[in-house]
């Protein structure tokens, strides 16, 4: 069926939230194209940037800029247009609007004005990267970009240190090294991480390993500091008694009969290749 033949003539009166590709134009859905063809106006972050995408798909609908600096005023205007029976779409430069992109105030105001907001499913770098990361996906926390200032970055990570969910960050190539250093410092060199770069594009790369390993790869290969990046960290794993194998506990208990806990935990950790902090903590709680 051709696009024109498939276009519905009566799109309901609403604000449509339309995701666009994050790199591969083939990811633009048929429905996204149809909605963008049919609406009366497309609000986009950057009209020149989106103009190229729209012209690639032969879409000539009028566009209007909506970005962080004018969103509230534009939202008011868009609510008025909806009141006049105009159907509107929101797109961002790439991916799903509102996900580290403008649109939150617009959606809130449009809903408050009593109009429908219709979301279309589609590309989103965080979800796409997570789906192939190999990290737990049953619970995750999307954290957007880490702060650019070092202290705020460390504070932010400190607040997430014991979060058991997979953590997802967006990152820019010129800050990736600093962020990985902060992750090593706060979450620990052993924390499992996955760095997804240029997802859906020619140089798509997934770097997996401990935070220290991924940092070393990024530092030794300048190509890893290029393009668009999603950084994902395994959630905090609680070291508890159940998680410490019985032979390890037996060694710890035996060593504690002759040595102070700190020394015993360090030796038992070395013998069994496990973390000494967990053994020390267990020993303290168990009164060894
Ligand atoms: N709204 C978009 C979405 O749904 O993913 C995200 C917009 S945010 C301003 C841009 C950031 O998303 C980039 O700096 C990068 O961290 C991430 N990103 C976007 N496209 C990507 C891609 N193809 N590969 C990896 N990360 C990407």
The one-digit pLDDT tens for each residue of the chain (288 residues) are 444 444 445 799 999 999 999 999 999 999 999 999 999 999 999 999 999 999 999 999 999 999 999 999 999 999 999 999 999 999 999 999 999 999 999 999 999 999 999 999 999 999 999 999 999 999 999 999 999 999 999 999 999 999 999 999 999 999 999 999 999 999 999 999 999 999 999 999 999 999 999 999 999 999 999 999 999 999 999 766 557 888 888 899 899 999 999 999 999 999 998 888 889 988 888 888
Beta carbons of 167 and 143 less than 8 angstroms apart: yes
- 16 and 65 in a single domain? The answer is yes
Q: Are strands 140-145 and 229-233 parallel, antiparallel or unpaired?
A: unpaired
Question: In Å, how far from its chain's centre is CA 199?
Answer: 12
Q: Is the C-beta atom of 171 inside 6 A of ligand 1?
A: yes
Number of domains in the chain: 3
Which of 94, 97, 103, 174 has most ligand 1 atoms within 8 Å of CB, for mutation? 94
Identify the domain containing residue 267 by its residue range. Answer: 240-286
- Measure 159 CA to ligand 1 centroid, in angstroms: 23
- 247 and 226 in a single domain? The answer is no
- Measure 235 CA to ligand 1 centroid, in angstroms: 21
- 201 and 220 in a single domain? The answer is yes
Which CATH number characterizes residue 159's domain? 3.30.950.10
Which CATH number characterizes residue 111's domain? 3.40.1010.10
- 15 and 101 in a single domain? The answer is yes
Beta carbons of 57 and 28 less than 8 angstroms apart: yes
d(CA 112, CA 127): 29
Q: Whose CA is nearest to atom 2 of ligand 1?
A: 95
Check residue 100 and give left, alpha or beta (phi > 0: left; psi -120 to 50: alpha). left
Which of 29, 125, 126 has most ligand 1 atoms within 8 Å of CB, for mutation? 125
d(CA 246, CA 233): 29
- Measure 143 CA to ligand 1 centroid, in angstroms: 13
Q: Is the C-beta atom of 99 inside 6 A of ligand 1?
A: yes
């Amino acid at each position: 069926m051709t696009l024109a033949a498939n276009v519905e003539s009566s799109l309901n009166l609403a604000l449509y939230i339309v995701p666009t590709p994050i790199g591969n134009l083939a990811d633009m859905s048929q429905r996204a194209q149809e909605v963008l063809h049919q609406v009366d106006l497309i609000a986009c972050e950057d009209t020149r940037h989106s103009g190229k995408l729209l012209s690639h798909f032969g879409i000539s609908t009028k566009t209007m800029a909506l970005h962080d600096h004018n969103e509230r005023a534009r939202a008011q205007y868009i609510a008025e247009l909806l009141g006049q029976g105009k159907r509107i779409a929101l797109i961002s430069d790439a991916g799903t609007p509102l996900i580290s992109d403008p649109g939150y105030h617009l959606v809130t105001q449009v809903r408050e004005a009593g109009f429908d907001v219709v979301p279309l499913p589609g590309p989103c770098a965080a979800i796409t990267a997570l789906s192939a990361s190999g990290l737990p996906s049953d619970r995750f926390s999307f954290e957007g970009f880490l702060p650019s200032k070092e202290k705020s970055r460390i504070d932010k990570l400190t607040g997430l240190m014991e979060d058991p969910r997979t953590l997802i960050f967006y990152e820019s190539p010129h800050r990736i090294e600093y962020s990985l250093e902060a992750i090593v410092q706060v979450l620990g060199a052993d924390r499992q991480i996955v760095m997804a770069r240029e997802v859906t594009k020619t140089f798509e790369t997934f770097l997996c390993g401990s935070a220290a390993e991924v940092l070393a790869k990024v530092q030794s290969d300048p190509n890893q500091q290029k393009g668009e990046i999603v950084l994902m960290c395994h959630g905090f794993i609680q070291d508890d008694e159940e998680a410490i194998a019985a032979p390890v506990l037996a060694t710890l208990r035996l060593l504690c009969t002759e040595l102070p806990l700190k020394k015993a935990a360090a030796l038992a950790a070395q013998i069994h290749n496990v973390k000494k902090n967990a053994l020390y903590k267990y020993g303290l709680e168990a009164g060894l």
